[in-house]
Structure 1
Amino acid sequence: MSIVLSGMRPTGKLHLGNLYGALQNWINLQDKYECYYFVADWHALTTGFNESKEIYNNTLEMIIDWLAFGLDPQKTTLFIQSLVKEHAELFLLLSMITPVGKLERVPSYKDQIAQLGESRTANYGFLGYPVLMSADIIIYKANYVPVGIDQLAHLEFTREIVRSFNHLVQKEAFIEPEPLLSEFPKILGTDGRKMSKSYGNAIYLADSEEQTVQKIKTMFTDPRRIRKTDPGVPKECGVFMLHNIFTDSQVYNEIETSCTNASIGCTDCKNMLIKNLNNKLRPIRETRRYLQENKKNEIIDNIKESSKTASLVAKVTLEAAKEAIFGNYLG
């Protein structure tokens, strides 16, 4: 069976953009492939080394969201990156063959510096994170990595690393991972920008129904609709984008028509979304509360054991890579 690998940085509780983007895709893949999904806590340090005290709690909150939403630890290997130390050793090995100039040309490098500032991106770990990402992928001999089109350049970096290493040792030590292209639904936050924790515009799985009501009531809608009688362009409205997920197709199409010809107002549209969203999330939120209140210790124990399983797989690949470089004297 082909292998899929993906990870998430532990930034805390997941919002609807995380859930119905990456995580829903993970769940769809777990029945088709051998999947390794991990908490990318070392990656969190690349831009958040001053906030390391938050990582433990953020990790637990994120794993609880994974499980509540439907990720099945019986079908996938869930692990924490820092508990599988082979990642770090392969990262070190790969860093020896990676030119600094190549890292400085990674598309997101300058963008992140501009966005986050030099004080958060002046560390070596930030410069080298694409090499760590490559180690994460190839240490499990992943055949596929689920990505959006905008992430293809990052995966191509990994493929180049593989080719460089294989050329150096004159053998196929690693396989080149292929992209598993995924179309993630576009989800806007309450302020009309992309939903993001950093923007403070997110709706979380952990939110109560009352909090969700208040957030949706304040959501930006189509700016063309100043009055109810103004026709709208629903596909540019964040509320309508959420209807695409939480409202059945027939009603969704009716809302689109009604918004376009101004026979429905934004308040009515929001009220329908509130009802449908809370109805769909209610059983998931109940599962989340149960896990939060009753299963924390069990979840921690299970993720530690699963990380040991991942480590056994990673160790085999690492030892083969070291032997390809150093020969047998380390064995």
Structure 2
Amino acid sequence: MVIDWLAVGINPGEATLFIQSKVPEHAELHLLLSMSTPLSWLERIPTYKDQQEKLKEKDLSTYGFLGYPLLQSADILVYKASKVPVGEDQVAHVELTREIARRFNHFYGREPDFEKKAKDATRKMGKRNAKLYKQLRKSYQEQGNDEALSTAQALVEAQQNISLGDKKRLLGYLEGETKTILPEPEALLTPTAKMPGLDGQKMSKSYNNTIALREEPSSVEKKIRTMRTDPARVRRTDPGDPEKCPVWQFHQIYSNEEIKNWVQNGCRSAGIGCIECKQPIIEGVLAELAPIQERAKRYIEEPESVQAIIAEGCEEARAAASETLEEVRQVMGLMYR
């Protein structure tokens, strides 16, 4: 997987690549968050119900499966991420993470004389910034102005003359009466935030309906040629509807406007068959994978360089995660070492 990430262009100089199990703070934060996360929050996750229904042959009646979204939340919160790049089907997981962070901050973000300390921190911003902060806070709290909240948060983050603790108080004071310990992240979606699997279901390795980045071209071609299409097209002469065909969603990414129009007209009039319709997708996917697979060869031939990247990333990740856990333990009264 790491080779795939490097091959698609992830720069280890800008992104930290690491192995989760090498950073035990993930598991510890997961455990601590599980003490305050209602069971019903985990049971309502759409993918939990969906996979229980579709993977009936597997025993999924375990906390490991039920609690996996909470572990994902810990993965995000341990680094205090502000944006999380996800697919559309994972937005619910990010929303769960926001709720978990909000609940944790509500329970443990309170401190003696919080409001007084927040007001003292406001004065440290200087008269002009303090006045603007108060106006924005009032606009958000009284009118629900989200733009005012975003502007106020940016204003606080830009302050150079106040401590990190005061920044957290001011950020928490914007939304209530608690200090922000675990910031609430937001989902970061791409223009194409959802891709179907080769069988029309959600794309997932669990459903065996994916194309691997280093898959052989012959295998890729075979998989795309056997993709499901519009059920209405039983015979070659039957007209279809691209909007009901998983292949069309691939055209949205891999085809230009001319080909899209060709597909729309040809499918609806039965002027083209499904195999013809899939050919541009085959060509587009193979063209995209070719340079990725070429770059991957270098890392396959130099496993030591990949291991070095991971080792360095694990150290960086653990250093960042340790800071968060130290703060979490402190507010929970668990500073036993």
TM-score (norm 2): 0.69
Corresponding residue for 1:275? 283
Corresponding residue for 1:215? 223
Corresponding residue for 1:24? none
Aligned pair partner of 2:330 in 304, 323, 329: 323
**Alignment deviations for residues 55-82 of structure 1 (CA, whole Å, 9 cap, x no partner):** xxxxxxx222222122222221122211
Q: Is the 8 A contact 2:84 2:188 kept in 1?
A: yes
Deviation at 1:141, TM superposition (A): 1.1
Q: Is the 8 A contact 1:323 1:330 kept in 2?
A: no
Corresponding residue for 1:257? 265
Corresponding residue for 2:90? 151
- In structure 1, what is the Cα distance between the partners aligned to 2:58 and 2:209? 25
Corresponding residue for 1:291? 299
RMSD value, Cα: 2.8
Mapping of 1:124-163 within 5 angstroms? Answer: 124-163=63-102
Corresponding residue for 2:30? 91
CA gap 1:103/1:76 in 2 versus in 1, 3 angstroms: same
Corresponding residue for 1:35? none
Corresponding residue for 1:199? 207
Corresponding residue for 1:32? none
Mapping of 1:77-116 within 5 angstroms? Answer: 77-116=16-55
CA gap 1:252/1:90 in 2 versus in 1, 3 angstroms: same
- In structure 1, what is the Cα distance between the partners aligned to 2:77 and 2:103? 13
Corresponding residue for 2:11? 72
Letter in 2 for 1:240: W
Corresponding residue for 2:139? none
Q: Is the 8 A contact 1:86 1:311 kept in 2?
A: yes
Q: Is the 8 A contact 1:186 1:241 kept in 2?
A: no
Letter in 1 for 2:316: T
Deviation at 1:153, TM superposition (A): 3.4
- In structure 1, what is the Cα distance between the partners aligned to 2:72 and 2:297? 33
Corresponding residue for 1:310? 317
Letter in 2 for 1:220: R
CA gap 1:192/1:151 in 2 versus in 1, 3 angstroms: closer
Secondary structure of the residue aligned to 1:77 is coil
Deviation at 1:129, TM superposition (A): 2.6
Q: Is the 8 A contact 1:232 1:261 kept in 2?
A: yes
Q: Is the 8 A contact 1:258 1:264 kept in 2?
A: yes
- In structure 1, what is the Cα distance between the partners aligned to 2:56 and 2:273? 42
Deviation at 1:185, TM superposition (A): 5.2
Question: Which ranges in structure 1 are unaligned for 5 or more consecutive residues?
Answer: 1-61
Letter in 2 for 1:68: A
What number of residue pairs does the alignment pair up? 268
- In structure 2, what is the Cα distance between the partners aligned to 1:214 and 1:244? 20
Aligned pair partner of 1:166 in 78, 96, 105: 105
Larger radius of gyration between Structure 1 and Structure 2 = 2
- In structure 1, what is the Cα distance between the partners aligned to 2:89 and 2:276? 35
**Alignment deviations for residues 69-126 of structure 1 (CA, whole Å, 9 cap, x no partner):** 2222222112221111111122222222234454444444444444444963333333
Q: Is the 8 A contact 1:144 1:178 kept in 2?
A: yes
Deviation at 1:227, TM superposition (A): 4.1
Letter in 2 for 1:138: L
Q: Which has the higher strand share?
A: 1
Letter in 2 for 1:320: E
Letter in 2 for 1:314: A
**Alignment deviations for residues 208-261 of structure 1 (CA, whole Å, 9 cap, x no partner):** 222222223323333333444433212322333323222223223233223223
